[in-house]
Copies of this chain bind each other. A is one copy, B any other.
Amino acid sequence: MTLMEYVIQKASHAKEAARKLALLPTDVKNSALLAMADALERQEAELLKANTIDLNAATGLSAAARDRLTLNPKRIKETAAGLREVAALPDPVGQIVGMTRRPNGMQVGKMRMPIGVIGIIYESRPNVTADAASLCLKSGNAVVLRGGSEAIQSNAAIVRIMTEAGGKAGIPDGAITFIDNPDRQVSTLLLKQDKYIDLIIPRGGEGLMEFVTRESRIPVIKHDKGVCHTYVDASANLEMAKAICFNAKVQRPGTCNAMETLLVHEAIAYSFLPPLIAQYQQAGVEVRGCPRTQIIVPSVKPAEEPDWGTEFLDLVLAVRVVKDMNQAMEHIATYGSQHSEAIITQDDSRALRFLREVDAAAVFVNASTRLHDGYQFGLGAEIGISTTRIHARGAMGLEELTTPKFVVLGTGQLRE
């Protein structure tokens, strides 16, 4: 079998499954998810064995990458708990969204349907395998999973256990299709299968985004980087601002919605920055400031031009004193990545203007950018945070894995 035949076999298998999945009753999907959760916990030993093979083979990884690759009993329990949460969410498929009567008497509405086949291309973390598969299943989509080669044994074991438990519960074969050939050429070929795959969601670094954007014939919803700002306005409640700014940087710096640059209005910079920067420094944050920040707090390092617009993903923060909100918004428009942006202010008209004018997937008033998350926003779960401007922007939940079709109820209407 050639690589092309292999890829077409996998993709077409998923497409066949998608037709059946689209019509599967909610209770079958839910029972399957619960059975999968039980099976993952029951077969913990098999999972850990597969994971050990991956870990032994992965010699060149950084400590952080190695940690992301690692499975342990606690993480397996969390994964199983995640599947049970997805089972408990409402099924979006078949929901009718708005139904209006037209002047000619016909009723027109929309019904949510699965997208079809969703291809997920992702790097190392094996927990993505179970998360993504469960969300696609619940929303009636087949999924084609192409994980990182370092995690191939762990991912294969997760899919094997989920498929076996799902099969017994009535899930069609191919619903969770795993690409078990690590050849890089397979990804390229997969991205050409627009006949079988309806949407590609890449999750990973810039190299992966560039590769998928370049090669894909299939619509892509990117999960790209977040260069997130918090702007502390002259009118801010400074205690609240301090708590939010600390949380946005320190609570979990390695995530896409963590703050990377702090912008502070000049009128409050002298009172606001010294205690906050002291708190950052105590927490191990390296602060890189603009010249005015350095005057206010001489211990900070100078920020260089490339620091603005950098996603540090680490305990590093760039700080700039701005003369007003206009300059803050201009800075965000120039250096931001349109991911998550926040203003801290007690002035309602400025808050509203910031909300309207800042172009980002999520804009916050008086809250931490770290709250940009499907669970926090009430979507129940998330497949990720879209940085694409079409279909879904920001946190994507089950609804964003569906597509509305028009449904029309007539009584003999014709086109005049």
| Residues in A lying within 8 Å of B, measured CB to CB | 19, 22-23, 94, 100, 102, 104, 106, 108, 111, 113, 115-116, 194, 198-199, 213-214, 217, 219-221, 237, 240, 243-244, 247, 251-252, 333, 351, 355-357, 359-368, 370-373, 376-378, 388-391, 393-395, 403-415
Contact = CB atoms under 8 A, between A and B. Distances in A.
Contacts of A243: 412, 414
Given A244-B412, A390-B391, A391-B390, A363 B406 contact: yes
Given A251-B415, A378-B102, A390-B199, A405 B362 contact: yes
A115 to B, nearest CB: 5
Given A102-B376, A362-B406, A415 B198 contact: no
Nearest to A395: B406
A251 B365 contact: no
A104 B378 CA distance: 11
B108 A377 contact: yes
Contact of A106 (B237, B367, B407): B367
A405 B371 contact: no
B390 A219 contact: yes
A408 B378 contact: no
A184 to B, nearest CB: 20
Contacts of A362: 405-408
A407 B340 CA distance: 10
A103 to B, nearest CB: 9
B199 A408 contact: no
Given A367-B413, A414-B243, A357 B408 contact: no
Q: Which of A355, A368, A415 has the most CB of B within 10 A?
A: A415
A17 to B, nearest CB: 14
A343 B333 CA distance: 50
Contact of A219 (B19, B219, B333): B219
B360 A415 contact: no
A210 B373 CA distance: 37
A145 to B, nearest CB: 19
Nearest to A406: B362
Nearest to A108: B377
B240 A412 contact: yes
Contacts of A373: 415
Given A252-B415, A370-B414, A391-B391, 13 more contacts: A22-B359, A23-B357, A198-B390, A240-B412, A360-B405, A362-B408, A363-B406, A366-B409, A366-B411, A366-B412, A367-B411, A367-B412, A393-B406
Contacts of A363: 405-408
B406 A372 contact: yes
A243 B394 CA distance: 47
Given A100-B378, A364-B408, A213 B199 contact: no
A346 to B, nearest CB: 10
For the complex of A and B, list the 4 residue pairs with the smallest distance between their C-beta atoms, beginning with the closest.
A367-B410, A370-B415, A362-B406, A391-B391
